[in-house]
Structure 1
């Protein structure tokens, strides 16, 4: 009869094994997982962040041209992937910090690939041979041509880090208000380094960050000049004013022309707004002076990188003329 396991030739098969009991799974699920870790041992707990801050971030090496900054303390920062042979070579030439270089399996080696491999080897970077399908996934479908770099999140400084009494010269900081092009940020970092500035300040929201593009435009200056990020730019400027800085905003309708800037020899923060909207209302109200750059009437405005460079040059020239 069907289902009669006693008939001749019938064999009872237990494909799924024993059906009685849970095999200890329920018992193991009820077992404890040990004591709750202390607050300072939990990476994202405020107590752990305060402990790391008290221990010091150790940025001295990066400012003196040593290893570039590592993972960012801010939660919004994330790593970046640079894809494409030209982009990879340019990033390596510019000294952009890199954690890993990915090379497609059976790649056709041309001059760019050979230069990238040589540069990565000289820097001691991990080089991973990666299937093209996996490389497509890592680069999110970008045209990678068999080469890609993993760039770590930038380690932003704090506003207090810009108040370094040991820094040589009169304090000079550039703040960006609503500048969203990372190439402008990189150009500003480069100008700050060229004219003896001490740092750059950017807001967390609606602002360019230190991406690989900003690193490349800075031409290596990002390894020496700290970039601080503030939750609220207006409050950060007020904090710098309390520390003795004068805040100078750049605007076409400024009350003071740049050549007549009397505050050039004082500790100053130069605030540069976006090319289209200029300074935001609250930031403009916080400024001690609004300064304009004399221009031909045929030119409406300068982009943030150029405006900052012109202003920093004039400040450096006046300081050199007075011997300060």
Structure 2
């Protein structure tokens, strides 16, 4: 489904961000404020909008979770790590980057992107292999955050972590066995937050590259959280420290 954007919010944010769109399909009978705004923005940008049967959208997207809106576009471009650092520099802020170690679930990547946008994260780094990429499902789950959070795709995460350390960043891994709790450490400076895969956590070589590790306190019967949920908790703590200076 590369080249498709699914869902009202994802399509709306793509239009607002000025992303090139070739055509928009709207299910017959689809009505909401977002759909009305999509029509208005598409008309302003002279993008054709076509009404189709809802079952046709399901066939095109191979899912029923399209919310009655599908846009045809080119795949979202990746950026470089330097692009992410430059974004932080232009904003006059310490770099705030999330590195995802072989996250395979598109729901997790989309959710992380949504939180990253909310907290002002400058970008996300993913590996080229054994990881979910920027798919239509990721875009939909991100609710349009994909338009605002740059994603860099690299060949080697440990090497990239070392490069960022050389540029002054602290690389902090989220690890259930860490001795320090996430809110006990200073996350205000140049930060690369490393989140491991859903089942295996952070890979050994990347884990060794981390300057230190933090954990989430767990007092219940379940000993781990969904990767996106865990990432969101620590990202908001980093944002809180940056916003309050505490």
* TM-score normalized with structure 1 length: 0.62
In structure 2, how many angstroms separate the alpha carbons of the residues matched to 1:259 and 1:203? Answer: 27
Q: Deviations over 1:65-113 (max 9, x none)?
A: xxxxxxxxxxxxx83346xxxx55454345475432357xxx9x32359
SS in 2 for 1:228: strand
Match of 1:152 in 2: 74
In structure 1, how many angstroms separate the alpha carbons of the residues matched to 2:71 and 2:128? Answer: 25
**Structure 1, gaps ≥5 residues long:** 1-77
Q: Report which stretch shifted further, 309-318 or 147-156.
A: 147-156
SS in 1 for 2:222: coil
In structure 2, how many angstroms separate the alpha carbons of the residues matched to 1:248 and 1:187? Answer: 20
SS in 2 for 1:298: coil
Match of 2:158 in 1: 234
In structure 1, how many angstroms separate the alpha carbons of the residues matched to 2:35 and 2:244? Answer: 45
Shift of 1:163: 1.6
Q: Where do residues 190-205 of structure 1 align in structure 2 (5 Å cutoff)? A: 190-205=114-129
In structure 2, how many angstroms separate the alpha carbons of the residues matched to 1:291 and 1:273? Answer: 12
| 1:272 aligns to 2:195 (yes or no) | yes
In structure 1, how many angstroms separate the alpha carbons of the residues matched to 2:164 and 2:188? Answer: 16
Match of 2:226 in 1: 303
Q: Where do residues 243-322 of structure 1 align in structure 2 (5 Å cutoff)? A: 243-262=167-186, 264-322=187-245
Answer with 1 or 2: which has the greater Rg: 1
Shift of 1:319: 3.0
Matched residue count: 234
In structure 2, how many angstroms separate the alpha carbons of the residues matched to 1:117 and 1:179? Answer: 35
Cα contact 2:8–2:34 (8 A) shared by 1: yes
SS in 1 for 2:233: helix
Cα contact 1:102–1:147 (8 A) shared by 2: yes
Cα contact 1:188–1:309 (8 A) shared by 2: yes
Match of 1:213 in 2: 137
Q: Which has the higher helix share?
A: 2
Match of 2:11 in 1: 92
SS in 2 for 1:99: strand
Q: Deviations over 1:122-152 (max 9, x none)?
A: 323234689xxxx79x9387779x9753232
**Structure 2, gaps ≥5 residues long:** none
In structure 2, how many angstroms separate the alpha carbons of the residues matched to 1:223 and 1:257? Answer: 32
Cα contact 1:275–1:304 (8 A) shared by 2: yes
Q: Residues 185, 118 of structure 1: CA spacing in aligned structure 2 closer, same or farther, 3 A cutoff? A: same
Q: Which has the higher strand share?
A: 2
Aligned CA-pair RMSD: 3.3
Q: Residues 294, 147 of structure 1: CA spacing in aligned structure 2 closer, same or farther, 3 A cutoff? A: closer
Q: Deviations over 1:220-245 (max 9, x none)?
A: 32222211111211111111111011
Q: Residues 231, 94 of structure 1: CA spacing in aligned structure 2 closer, same or farther, 3 A cutoff? A: same
Q: Residues 188, 148 of structure 1: CA spacing in aligned structure 2 closer, same or farther, 3 A cutoff? A: closer
Cα contact 1:81–1:139 (8 A) shared by 2: no
Cα contact 1:88–1:116 (8 A) shared by 2: no
Q: Report which stretch shifted further, 248-257 or 292-301.
A: 292-301
Query: Whose relative contact order is higher, 1 or 2, with alpha carbons under 8 Å and at least 6 apart?
Result: 2
